[in-house]
């Protein structure tokens, strides 16, 4: 099976405090630690496991600037066979729809059976996979937490729906799936693994390679425009307990007892 | 001039989802005077029950009754709506696993704008819709502007718009079933597999000691268990702990896990994503301990402590044991 996994380099929310910059035009990007989007990492692991079971190849692709190459190499160190870097000045500031259009152009150059994305990324939109499927006119399933590859041109997928339940469906290939965290346990990638793929050639494709018109992409083509970033004032917030750890704990125990939290 | 406004009504066993009346509120923020048309899609007798219920809140209800719609398969419903709604329609969906499945592709098929996971709507001026979203797991918010002149699909976050139960629209139910065209799709629904039942039922507990990413390692779960034992409760958790396979899925609190109704909830090393908070009902007394003073959990907790839970929990446990 030929599998393409779409990945994104994002600020790592587990490693950073995300703050708004001074004029509210962006988040504060100085000293941010970046990594591969967590959901995408599960998607790559799933693709590798499918390939190891039924054969084929895994390609990882990203739309991003020069620094995005590092996540392609990381996922190739995990075991992806190929990487493709979609990069062009015209792509900068693209919204989810433009990203999907760029990916579609790349997908149509190949012959993929299965395209995976993460269920969501840093902006929480969860939109690229579904848009991509609609543009390709392929079937789609979101928040997938199980994939069973059977014979023929169908696979069985489970979607994680509310209440921890799982919705099972059969979906025809080729298709697009967005992958939920927890579907597998992504393997560890060490420095040695990354070194091994450090010199592997990663082709870079831009607007002319993909036959795209630049003016529909980037910030100018976006239908949904972000005006600013801010931190909302939500009610009063918590009463913060301060003082020495001992004082805090005494106060907390008193509160817990009063609220029935200690039996 | 913006197009006609629609609200998709999720329902099950003849009862509309809580999101239905939240979409009434969201719709009123966009078009206060005309309101939205409710879209009720399904099959069989339950459908009329839902339509009649919705007619109280929406002036117009469009009913789509077809065997192929008996289970809400987003692939089928996308095909239905894209074929029937006006090209400049503004469509409101709940931002749940169904809305996430349906919405992005629907916006492409309608060639309209997509605004996902909206938490507030500031209003419509001409064709410009102003809304609020969140990014980075709720750590920051953004104002977004969207040109809805060519239509739009918006998914509204559950719980962000208060349900409007005040309406007595006396609405009209219009049966649109005869307009349904081909609904063949390449994804067939098989069944829903119910969540596994674990050793402990966290939904029945009055007090929960809940741990998140801040616990850092599987071996540290033990300190949470010690605390739970000291106060007579059990350990629950947020999603990353289940993803890492450190605790069973049945211990997970959140929209994709269990819905709990404790009196006291200790959120330890939990950032407080809306998916997690969506699983906590009944307005419990929430204590949050987190080393990040900007964690969203502090906005919804009653009491907060900025501390590393790996140091704080054992000290708390010890003090509680001493005080007994």
DSSP alpha helices (H): ranges in chain A? 38-54, 69-78, 96-109, 128-136, 191-196, 207-210, 245-258
For residue A229, the chain B residues in CB contact (below 8 A) are 135, 140-142
B111-138 per-position pLDDT tens digit: 999 999 999 999 999 999 999 999 998 8
CA distance B194 to A160: 11
Considering only CB atoms, B141 lies closest to which of A167, A169, A230, namely A230
Q: What three-state secondary structure class fits B275?
A: helix
Prediction pTM value: 0.94
In B133-220, where does DSSP find H-type helix?
none
Class of domain B5-179: alpha beta
User: Quick check: A14 pLDDT over 90?
Assistant: no
**b/e map of B209-242 (b: 16 or more CB within 10 Å)?**
bbbbbbbeeeebbebbebbbebbebbbbbbbbbb
Q: By the 8 A CB rule, do A131 and A100 touch?
A: yes
What pLDDT score was predicted for residue A235? Answer: 62
B44 dihedral zone (left: phi>0; alpha: psi -120 to 50; beta): left
Q: Which residues of A touch B146 (CB under 8 A)?
A: 223-225
Tens-digit pLDDT profile for residues A145-159: 999 998 789 999 999
CB contact under 8 A, B264 and A237: no
Look-up of token digits 């044991």: B321
- Using alpha carbons, select from A59, A63, A54, A8 the residue that is nearest to residue A34: A8
Counts for chain B of helices (H) and strands (E), in that order: 9, 18
Picking from B12, B100, B160 by the largest number of A CB atoms within 10 A of its own CB, the best residue to mutate is: B100
Average pLDDT over residues B157-179: 92
Domains delineated in chain A:
2-221 (3.40.50.620)
Beta partners for residue A240, in sequence order: B304
Q: Which of A16, A122, A164, A186 should be substituted to probe chain B, the one whose Cβ sees the most B Cβ atoms within 10 Å?
A: A164
Q: What is the pLDDT of residue B49?
A: 96
**pLDDT tens string B80-89:** 999 999 999 9
Cα angle at A178 between A175 and A179, to 5 degrees? 125
SS (H, E, C) A176-220: EEEECCCCCCCCCCCHHHHHHCCCCCCCEECHHHHCCCHHHCCHH
Tokens of residue A88, six digits? 């062009």
Q: At what angle do helices B309-323 and A245-258 cross, to 10 degrees?
A: 60
Of residues A215, A129, A217, the one with CA closest to residue A175: A129
Backbone angles phi and psi of B11, in degrees to 5: -155, 160
Nearest Cα to B260, choosing from B244, B238, B241, B243?
B238
Has residue A237 got a pLDDT over 90? no
Which pLDDT score is estimated for B165? Answer: 87
Q: Which CATH architecture has domain B202-323?
A: 3-Layer(aba) Sandwich (3.40)
Q: Give the residue extent of every domain in chain B.
A: 5-179, 202-323
Counted residue by residue, chain B has a size of: 324
Band (pLDDT 50/70/90 cuts) for residue A31 is: confident
Of the candidates A84, A123, A105, A115, the one whose C-alpha atom is nearest the C-alpha of residue A226 is A123
Please state, as a whole number, how many other Cβ atoms lie within 10 Å of the Cβ of residue B172.
12
């Amino acid at each position: 099976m030929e599998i393409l996994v779409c990945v994104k380099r994002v600020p790592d929310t587990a490693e950073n405090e995300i703050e708004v910059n001074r004029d509210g035009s962006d988040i504060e990007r100085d000293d941010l630690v970046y990594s591969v989007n967590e959901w995408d990492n599960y998607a790559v692991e799933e693709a590798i496991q499918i390939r190891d079971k039924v054969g084929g190849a895994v390609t990882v692709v990203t739309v991003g600037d020069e620094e995005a190459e590092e996540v392609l190499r990381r996922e190739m160190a995990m075991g992806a066979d190929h990487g493709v870097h979609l990069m062009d000045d015209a792509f900068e500031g693209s919204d989810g729809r433009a990203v999907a259009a760029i990916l579609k152009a790349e997908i149509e150059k190949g012959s993929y059976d299965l395209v995976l994305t993460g269920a969501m990324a840093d902006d929480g939109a969860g939109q690229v996979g579904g848009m991509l499927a609609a543009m390709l006119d392929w079937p789609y399933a979101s928040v997938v937490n199980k994939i069973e590859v059977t014979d023929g041109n169908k696979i069985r997928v489970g979607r994680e729906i509310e209440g921890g339940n799982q919705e099972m469906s059969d979906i025809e290939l080729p298709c697009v799936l967005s992958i939920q965290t927890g579907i597998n346990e992504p393997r560890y990638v060490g420095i040695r693994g990354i070194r091994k793929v450090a010199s592997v050639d990663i082709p870079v494709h831009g607007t002319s390679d993909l036959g795209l018109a630049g003016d529909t992409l980037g910030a100018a083509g976006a239908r949904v425009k972000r005006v600013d970033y801010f931190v909302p004032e939500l009610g009063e917030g918590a009463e913060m307990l301060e003082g020495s750890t001992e004082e805090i704990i005494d106060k907390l125990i008193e509160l817990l007892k009063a609220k029935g939290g200690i039996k | 001039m913006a197009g006609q406004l629609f609200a998709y009504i999720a329902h099950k066993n003849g009862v509309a989802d809580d999101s239905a009346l939240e979409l009434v509120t969201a719709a009123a923020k966009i078009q206060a005077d005309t309101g939205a048309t409710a879209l009720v899609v399904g099959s069989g007798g339950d459908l009329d029950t839902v339509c009649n219920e919705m007619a109280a809140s929406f002036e117009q209800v469009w009913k789509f009754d077809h065997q192929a719609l008996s289970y809400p398969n987003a692939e089928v419903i996308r095909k239905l709506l894209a074929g029937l709604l006006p090209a400049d329609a503004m469509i409101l969906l709940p931002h749940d696993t169904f809305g996430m499945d349906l919405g992005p592709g629907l916006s492409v098929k309608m060639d309209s704008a997509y605004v996902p996971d909206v938490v507030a709507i500031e209003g419509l001026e001409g064709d410009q819709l102003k809304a609020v979203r969140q990014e980075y797991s709720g750590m920051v918010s953004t104002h977004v502007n969207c040109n809805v002149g060519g239509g739009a699909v918006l998914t509204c976050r559950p719980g962000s718009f208060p349900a409007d139960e005040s309406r007595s629209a006396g609405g009209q139910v219009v049966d649109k079933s005869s307009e349904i065209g081909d609904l063949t799709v390449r994804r067939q629904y098989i069944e829903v597999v119910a969540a596994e039942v674990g050793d402990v039922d966290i939904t029945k507990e009055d007090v929960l000691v809940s741990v998140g990413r801040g616990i850092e390692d599987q071996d540290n779960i033990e300190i949470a268990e010690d605390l739970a034992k000291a106060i007579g409760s059990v350990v629950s958790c947020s999603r990353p702990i289940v993803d890492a396979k450190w605790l069973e899925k049945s211990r997970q609190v959140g929209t994709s896990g269990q819905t709990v109704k404790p009196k006291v909830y200790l959120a330890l090393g939990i950032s407080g994503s809306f998916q997690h908070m969506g699983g906590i009902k009944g307005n419990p007394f929430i204590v949050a301990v987190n080393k990040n003073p900007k964690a969203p959990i502090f906005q919804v907790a009653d009491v907060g402590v900025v501390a590393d839970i790996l140091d704080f929990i054992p000290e708390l446990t010890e003090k509680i044991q001493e005080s007994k």
